[in-house]
Amino acid sequence: MKVISYEYAGNTKDVAYEAFTFSGGEEHIRFNPSDFAQSEKVQVIARVTNSSQVMRLLMAVDALKRLCMERISIELLIPYFPYARQDRVCVAGEALGAKVMASLINQLNLNKVTVWDAHSEVAPALLDRVENIAQVNLIEQFPQLRQQLSSGALTLISPDAGASKKTVKISEHFGGEPEVIQAQKVRDLKTGEILQTQVLGEVSGKDVLIADDICDGGRTFIELAKVLKAQGAKSIALYVTHGIFSQGLAVFAGLIDTIYTTNSCRDKADFIQHSDVQLEMIEL
């Protein structure tokens, strides 16, 4: 978690703080009051990938509000919104995780909340005073990728029905130059295993870019890349806004040549690099 103070004189500074976890599991955080004497706004940047980090964020904002007594604006940048994938109740007895997380954030009564490429329209709809940075705006941060899409050198692959709307928006953003091809997967409803992946278009001899918002273990993209390669794709790249990559990068070797992502979840240095997979990352 990073805390930035914006001062009346126009200066900005990173604010140090004390944080630790008690033996009982409780999170503790403490700021130095003098660090905010000239502040007119404070921005909290939180990469939240586990429940302890959620609690630390809540404690930090409470400490800031008590310290500043509502006299300054407090904004939150939380690029990867936790529980965004739990945006519907599929089976009776489940929790609506996105709503639970949004309720916690809303209770902080922040002046602004910014997220990057929310998984669906549900999370932004549940959050107060939110700005959802669109996927296309993040893709623009990669010069080489931007040029290839603008020129139509890349064919966009939508990995499943859920990603199709965003993939079309990418093509529209770049003037309709990138061709869009839809893929679809067939799952075993009991186990969730991918039984079959189909590509509904011609990819032979083409440089293709699979685009989606989140990659966790990567199974969807691995199975899709196998089909694309078998059907003659010249090169295969992957763009995901939120790269969790819980199985590492080696699982993509021999299938996906380049991965574009952000450090919304982890830094580039956190990954064991693989010679066959080029990882390109933009940072907060």
Cα–Cα distance for residue pair 253/218, rounded to 1 Å:
12
3-state secondary structure the chain: CEEEEEECCCCEEECCCEEEECCCCCEEEECCHHHHCCEEEEEEECCCCCHHHHHHHHHHHHHHHHHHCCCCEEEEECCCCCCCCCCCCCCCCCCCHHHHHHHHHHCCCCCEEEEECCCCCHHHHHCCCEEEECHHHHHCCCHHHHHHHHHCCCEEEECCHHHHHHHHHHHHHCCCCCCEEEEEEEECCCCCCEEEEEECCCCCCCEEEEEEEEECCCHHHHHHHHHHHHCCCCEEEEEEEEECCCCCCHHHCCCCCEEEEECCCCCHHHCCCECCEEEEEECC
Residues of the chain below pLDDT 70: 188-192
| Whether 207 contacts 147, CB under 8 Å | no
Tell me whether residue 236 is exposed, middle or buried, using C-beta atoms within 10 angstroms of its C-beta: 0 to 12, 13 to 18, 19 or more. Answer: buried
Residue ranges, comma separated, of all CATH 3.40.50.2020 domains in the chain are: 2-133, 137-282
Angle at which helix 97-106 crosses helix 51-68, to 10 degrees, equals 20
Which pLDDT does position 161 carry in this prediction?
Answer: 87
Q: For the chain, what percent of residues have pLDDT higher than 90?
A: 90
The token pair at 221 is 């993209």
Which pLDDT does position 245 carry in this prediction?
Answer: 96
Tokens 């693989």 sit on residue: 274
CATH of domain 2-133: 3.40.50.2020
Q: What is the rounded end-to-end Cα distance, in angstroms, of the chain?
A: 11
113-167 pLDDT per residue, tens: 999 999 999 999 999 999 999 999 999 999 999 999 999 999 999 999 889 999 9
Could you say which architecture CATH assigns to the domain 137-282? 3-Layer(aba) Sandwich (3.40)
Cα–Cα distance for residue pair 124/190, rounded to 1 Å:
30
Which pLDDT does position 188 carry in this prediction?
Answer: 65
For residue 170, which of 218, 237, 228, 234 has the smallest C-alpha distance? 237
Any idea how long the chain is? 284
Mean pLDDT of the chain: 94
Note the pTM of the prediction, 2 decimals: 0.93
Which pLDDT does position 117 carry in this prediction?
Answer: 97
